[in-house]
């Protein structure tokens, strides 16, 4: 049995989604969005991301951690801030001893919708359909679940468990 925690990092909102499976069937466990206070400093936001992801890991004990890879924005500062948010989440996994896997946004969309350029609404719809639950409330949450599903679909070891 495996549990995959998917994370869609962001500086204002970080989505997370946890799925479990046994190689034959994938089940939805939980998901949500860590909404960060607009007036908080960058460092306070990083602490919050780290603490909340660490708490989710402590509560649910995932066996794998999957996160969206950095994409390069036209604005270098935006890329840097996103990288810091990723780092805070990754650190929580690494300190807990959970192996980390990275996937590009295109790779995630391709694996869950069949289209690497799919719109976020298509990803959300597919997450609900594949897992047999209502589509997630936020795009950040939906993307995080999709990242976890991408890892489950792509990782050959998952399929043979």
Q: For the chain, how are helix, strand and coil distributed in percent, rounded to 5?
A: 50, 20, 30
Report how far residue 142's alpha carbon sits from residue 121's, in angstroms, rounded to the nearest whole number. Answer: 9
Count Cα neighbours of 20 within 13 Å in the Cβ-side half-sphere: 8
- Dist CA 114 CA 96 (whole Å): 33
CA pair distance 114, 127, nearest whole angstrom = 13
8 is an active site residue: yes
Q: Which pair of structure tokens corresponds to residue 108? A: 């995630």
- For this structure, is 140 an active site residue? yes
Could you say which of 139, 140, 141, 143 is catalytic? 140
| Tokens 């489950």 found at | 152
Q: What is the DSSP letter of 69?
A: P
CA 102 to chain centre: 10
Q: Which residues are catalytic?
A: 8, 68, 140
């Amino acid at each position: 049995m495996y549990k995959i925690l998917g994370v869609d990092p962001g500086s204002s909102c970080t989505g997370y989604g946890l799925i479990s499976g046994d190689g034959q069937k994938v089940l939805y466990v939980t998901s949500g969005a860590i909404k960060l206070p607009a007036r908080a400093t960058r460092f306070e936001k990083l602490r919050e991301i780290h603490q909340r992801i660490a708490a989710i890991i402590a509560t649910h004990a995932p066996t794998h951690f999957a996160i969206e890879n950095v994409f390069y924005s036209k604005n270098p500062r935006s890329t840097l801030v996103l990288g810091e948010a990723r780092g805070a989440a990754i650190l929580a996994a690494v300190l807990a001893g959970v192996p980390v896997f990275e996937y590009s946004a295109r790779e995630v969309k391709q694996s869950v919708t069949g289209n690497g350029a799919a719109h976020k609404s298509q990803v959300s719809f597919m997450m609900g359909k594949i897992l047999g639950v209502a589509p997630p409330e936020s795009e950040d949450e939906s993307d995080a679940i999709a990242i976890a599903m991408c890892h489950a679909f792509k990782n050959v070891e998952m399929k043979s468990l």
